[in-house]
Each structure stands twice: as structure tokens, then as C-alpha cells.
Amino acid sequence: QVHVAESGGGLVQAGGSLTLSCTASGSILTILGMGWFRQAPGKQRELVAVISRGDNTKYADSVKGRFTISRGNAENTVHLQMHSLKPEDTADYFCAAAVRPFLVLSATHEDFELWGQGTQVTVSS
């Protein structure tokens, strides 16, 4: 059984920073990539950033230059550093892990099989 857990969400003022963390644990063969997705009320889930086992990354245009995804020192751990946060970044943020090969540049939520429960990020204006 696999468990994906996020942490680090919260309330922050516009212009502030937050770091989200995620760890996948349990009976995992090999995780080939991890990613962050977000879903705002009334909107579809969207990709925020993904990172492959080889450290290839992809970012949504809306977060480029503000967010950084990185793999942690512990295995199957990923972080999302978020700076210059905007009210439009408000959403539930989900961590996901991929156990099958995928192309980072064309990655979508369909490439990720394991999902966390999500953590809420609220950016006040």
C-alpha cells in the first residue's frame, strides 16, 4: 500500500512565500517522477510543476520564475518553493507520483498514478 502525504499549506499574504513538501511511502517499486497540481474552486485541476527522477522539470507558465520544484534528500520526497504568491495561486495543492515512464515536457495529471489528499494554500490580497 502506498501513501502520499503533503504538508506546508496555509494562509499567506500576497507577495509572501510558502514551501510545500510531499513524501510517498509504502510498498513502492520505483517512482519515476513527482509533481504538484492544484485545483481552485470551480476550476479544473492543473499542473503546477513536475520533476523526473533525472531532475528534468516542467512548470506551468503562470508559476515560472516564482515556483521551484526540487527532490528532497530523502527518497521519494519533493518540495515546492513558492515565492511572490498571488491571490490567483489560491487552491488546493495535490502531490502526485508516477510509477510508469512519462515525458516531462508533455506531462499531464494522467501520467501520475499515486495522489495525496491535498493541502490548502490561501493567498490574501
Sheet holding 2-7, edge to edge: 2-7, 18-26, 77-82, 67-71
Q: For position 2, what pLDDT does the model report?
A: 83
Res 73 pLDDT > 90: no
Arithmetic mean of pLDDT, 18-26: 94
Q: For position 28, what pLDDT does the model report?
A: 67
Res 12 pLDDT > 90: yes
Cβ neighbours, 10 Å, residue 3: 13
Q: For position 26, what pLDDT does the model report?
A: 84
Q: For position 117, what pLDDT does the model report?
A: 97
Q: For position 33, what pLDDT does the model report?
A: 94
Residues in the chain: 125
DSSP of 78-125: EEEEE-S--GGG-EEEEEEEE-S---GGG--GGG--EE---EEEEEE-
Question: Which helix (H) or strand (E) element contains residue 27?
Answer: none
78-98 pLDDT, tens digit per residue, is 999 999 999 999 999 999 999
Res 64 pLDDT > 90: yes
Res 34 pLDDT > 80: yes
Determine the Cα–Cα distance for residues 31 and 10; give it in Å rounded to an integer. Answer: 27
- pLDDT over 70 for what percent of the chain? 98
